Amino acid sequence: MNPLRILSLLAAGALLSLPAQAGAARPAAPLTTTAVAKPAGIQRIDPTFWWVGMKNPKLQLLVHGPGIGSSTVALSYPGVTLDGLQKLENPNYLIVNLTIAPSAKPGKVALEFRGTKKLTYQYELRARSTEAGRVQGITSADFVYLLMPDRFANGDPKNDNIKGMRAPAVARDSMYSRHGGDLKGIENHFDYLKQLGVTAIWPTPIVENDEPKASYHGYALTDFYNVDRRYGTNEEYVQFVRNAHKSGLKVIHDVVLNHMGTSGYLVQDAPARDWFHQWPTFTRSNFRDAAFNDPYVSQYDRKQFGEGWFDKHMADLNQSNPLVSTYIIQNFLWWVENTGLDGYRVDTYSYSDRKFLMDWGNAILEEYPNIGLFGETWVQGTAQQAYFAQNIFPMVDGFKANLPGVTDFQLQYAINEALTRDAGWTEGINKLYYTLQADWMYQNPQRNVLFLDNHDLSRFYSVIGEDFAKYKMGLAWLLTCRGIPQLYYGTEVLMKNYSNPDGKVREDFPGGFPGDKKNLFTTRTGPEAEAFDYVSRLANYRKTHPVLQSGKLMQFIPDQGVYTYFRYNDQGETVMVMMNSGKDEKTVDMARFAERLSGFNSGVEITSGAAVADLKSVRIPGRMAWVVELRK
């Protein structure tokens, strides 16, 4: 989520703002650690269960309950060793450190707590999954579909209103209320996604967001270990991933490492004051990621960027605290092993503590080397973006990124400029050329995620002035350029609108909810049908042609507003993409492309089926993108 988006939502009253307390670093209630000890009892233990056979044998249990911090602990279970206890500032918490030897068997470990009274907690150790290829990963062979579960489709009306939750009601006439979409609604439309050519689903966060207002987006989690009940249950999410895999679809789990919602139990009854970043008065991040690697930065600016709160209802986690770091790392290992999900998209990646980011990435990739990982890097400049991905740079100030890929905002800026600005020396269509030229900074730019828009941005169709020719140019680029293409829900049926001021880029998908006047899942006519067919035709071609998934890329400097690049591989496949960004038809002398055209005599334009008989000189209409399969 971008700071400008946060500020615009605040202005529109879309985000919860808790009343400021004079002289307080946060709302008075959420971060209190002065709870009065009561008779010992256990309300929960995180992680809620664990597995034998993990590569890291260490397990940190965070035990929560009234007065539990005064307890001692005993256990007797073959292969499980109690390494020690750690009391926290809040007497309602206790850290229990265990070692689980490779010889340990699945079962219930009886943890005996002895305090003002004795009680026993049966902690479950499960067997790890033995399913081959269960975590499939996300690669450049995929086509990712980003959706907001609350706004996509309502498949189970019974979970619309959950008693006891802070914002239980559904109000579809309000952009900032819950609308009722859920996991079952997504699953009901797996066939639609497959018809479109999608191979991976990226829902915005599905974990509990029990905030009193505007938490439908999922980025203010209040429970690390539970699915939001308005979307479904943990068991239903496990089944959702399993059913997606059976349907040939992967699942990306959207996560937030940097902060959590202030209504969560970890904030309302904080384990310790240093669990979250503290300030004398409420201090929001300055949102300036450059402070992390600016050689001339002031320490105040750097601290405010990394330790300032994203907003008043988003408590900033202190990941330099090793207990917090371990808690977060274990949680994301837990979700993978429990569900078999295929990848993580990390929200606000650049805001987290940099040592923690390296530790988190190492832990996830050590346990699940095939998992897909990419982070949101809404930054300025390709060098700054590459800084947060696996790159060719030396370690800078103790940080060397291990994140395989990022959301490629720099190319998103470039494609928008290419379609909205006349060509200049570096402007317009030339922006694409120069941005791709900077790929030398990445270890593997194929792992970056390409996109035209998302849930924080104005919709692509509106940005280009609802120009259908430009729409097709943008989609042609998205599905033929290097990297992992991502489509925002509804782009394929020309959903439109701007991010400011009313949030209508997050409108419901037509047909996903009872009473909808149109159902674009099943019935499409006119431009909506043409748009869907264009995306589907190109995406399904990409799915069956490795050259557009992992082929090499060669680009030629744009000439007279015409940009040409080729995807090719060692198996003899070659696809030529030619984009005329100008209004007028251009005649292109193909001689300068000889190194890629050699051996080919003709071609077929993939989306239309039109023959391209002459590869010596072509005339390409204005505002046109050709995707040509070359033939010998």
Catalogue the active-site residues.
347, 376
Exposure string of 344-363, with b = 16+ CB inside 10 Å and e = fewer, is bbbbbbbbbbbebbbbbbeb
Pairing mode, strands 107-114 and 343-347: unpaired
Q: How far apart (Å, rounded) are the C-alpha atoms in residues 470 and 461?
A: 9
The helix/strand/coil state of 202 is strand
Cα 433 to chain centroid distance, Å, stands at 26
Residue 577: burial class (beta carbons within 10 Å; 0-12, 13-18, 19+): buried
Q: How far apart are CA 56 and CA 312, in angstroms?
A: 36
449-451 vs 200-203, strand pairing mode: unpaired
CB 274 within 8 A of CB 318: yes
CA distance 116 to 17: 40
Shortest CA distance to 551 belongs to which of 577, 528, 532, 524? 577
**Residue pointed to by tokens 């229990």:** 96
Residue type, 276: F
Q: How far apart are CA 204 and CA 218, in angstroms?
A: 6
Rounded to whole angstroms, how far apart are CA atoms 37 and 52? 34
Query: CB of 314 within 8 A of CB of 284?
Result: no
Q: How far apart are CA 563 and CA 350, in angstroms?
A: 32
CA atoms within 13 A on the CB side of 16: 23
Q: At 421, list the tokens.
A: 């600005």
CA distance 380 to 377: 9
The four Cα atoms 338, 342, 346, 350 give a dihedral, to 10 degrees, of 120
Distances, alpha carbon 53 to alpha carbons 50, 125, 264, 339, 341, in Å: 10, 10, 31, 17, 19
Q: How many CB atoms are located within 10 Å of the residue 295 CB? A: 6
Read off the tokens for 350.
């650049």
Closest listed residue to residue 271, CA positions, set 119, 96, 95, 114:
95
Other CB atoms within a 10 A radius of the CB of residue 37 amount to: 15
Q: Is 8 helix (H, G, I), strand (E, B) or coil?
A: helix
CA 13 to chain CA centroid, nearest Å: 25
Rounded to 5°, angle at Cα 565 from 570 and 411: 110
